[in-house]
Structure 1
Amino acid sequence: MDGSSAISIETFQPAPDTQRAYRTALGSFGTGVTVITTTTDLGPCAITVNSFASVSLEPALVLWSVDKASDRCAAFAEARHSAIHVLERGQQDLAWRFARDGFDFAQTDWQPDGNGVPCLGGCLTRFDCETVAAHDGGDHIILVSKVTSVSARHGLPLLFVQGKFGSFSTS
């Protein structure tokens, strides 16, 4: 016997009354962790995101999504330029900071680029972007950006799975 009869599988339709179970199911897909930055009339703005993905190599396009209910949604939906920072293992504090407060750049290593976009120090990779499209995605807005420049170094990325930060070994 292969033991599969001992595995309990829950099947449900995504709906308001199964939202927690749906979020838990989505959490079984491990993702990288990014902090996306832009500049606003109020100063620098950031948001922690795990919905980042590559769209196209030619032209170089990426996407990510922002919750319409976020206090930062308008800032990113209206931004022409942004920077997507792939966090390195050990940068959980930075991820938590910008998940909670997108305007708290105190004690954060950053410099503005030529467009005024905050570029965070210590990240594994940074994609400098120009927004080319915004699409309705239910309770989110899906932003598509052209990558204009990439800065990258070797290291291990910060990962997020089942509601927890972690990493993996390459050995």
Structure 2
Amino acid sequence: MGMPEAEEPVMGRKATAPDFDSQHFKRALSQFATGVTVITTRAAGHPYANGAPFIGITASSFNSVSLDPPLVLWSMAHRANSLPMFRDGSHYIINVLSASQLDLCQRFATLKGDRFSGVDYRLSATGLPILGSALAWFECHNRSRYDEGDHVIFVGEVERCGILDEGGEPLVFQGAQFSTLCPLDPTDR
């Protein structure tokens, strides 16, 4: 006997209301392990920046989209004070954090004022901060933005990228905790 045939999708059909609350949804989402990034851009001219030249935010909503052209995506809440700087800017840098950079993750998630004060970084070709010791970085043209739900989805076209020469363990977020990876031996089944 075969599997029952799936219902054909109906174009234009709306989704039914969720059968769960937002806390249950958050708990379910937290089971998906993600890497952690700090996304940086220029802040000049925006009142939220308090005179700082750059702004950076911690984000775990990073993903690849396409190899040709090279595209990545990430998202930011509509209520975020720094949204106008990312929405209006032409470029941003996505810095993939290592396990040794938990302090930077927390700094860019919570610190008010100049988050770059005392932070090791260098400037990219477009003059944006690339964090020292980031496992990888992607310099992106701000290709497109999509308003979906309570977030904006940013699609960046990668113009340059780099990898930390000496490698390192990634910073991972899962189940409301930070950790790193332990490689599994595929022969241990």
Pick the TM interval, shorter chain.
Answer: 0.7 to 0.9
Instruction: Say yes or no: does 1:160 pair with 2:140.
Output: no
Find out whether 1:84 has 2:90 as its counterpart.
Answer: no
- CA distances 1:64-117 after superposition (whole Å, capped 9, x unpaired): 001110111111111111110000112111001001137411121012223221
**Residue in 2 aligned with 1:8?**
none
Q: Distance in 1 between matches of 2:151 and 2:89?
A: 16
| Secondary structure of 2:42's aligned partner | strand
* Gap regions ≥5 residues in structure 2: 1-17, 45-50, 185-189
* Residue from 19, 22, 25 that aligns with 1:22: 25
Between structure 1 and structure 2, the one with the greater Rg is: 2
CA RMSD after TM alignment: 1.4
Matched, 1:31 2:41: no
1:31 Cα offset (Å):
0.3
Distance 1:134 1:119 in 2: 22
SS in 2 for 1:127: strand
Query: Aligned partners of 1:58 and 1:76: how far apart in 2?
Result: 24
State whether structure 2 residue 133 is matched by structure 1 residue 119.
no
- Structure 1 counterpart of 2:30, one-letter code: G
Distance 1:59 1:94 in 2: 30
Amino acid across the alignment from 1:20: Q
Alignment match of 1:137 (pick from 148, 151, 167): 148
Counterpart residue number, 1:149: 160
The partner residue of 2:82 within 63, 69, 72 is 72
In structure 1, distance between residues paired with 2:78 and 2:30: 20
How far the C-alpha of 1:137 sits from its partner, in A, is 1.4
Q: Are 2:55 and 1:56 equivalent residues in the alignment?
A: no
Whole-Å Cα distance in 2 between the matches of residues 97 and 168 of structure 1?
Answer: 22
- For 1:3-57, what per-residue CA distance to the aligned partner results, in whole angstroms no more than 9, with x for missing partners? xxxxxxxxx724xxx2122111110100000000001214110000000000000
Q: TM-score, normalised by structure 1?
A: 0.87
C-alpha contact (below 8 Å) 2:124/2:139 kept by paired residues = no
Aligned residue for 1:66, secondary structure, equals strand
What is the TM-score normalised by the length of structure 2? Answer: 0.79
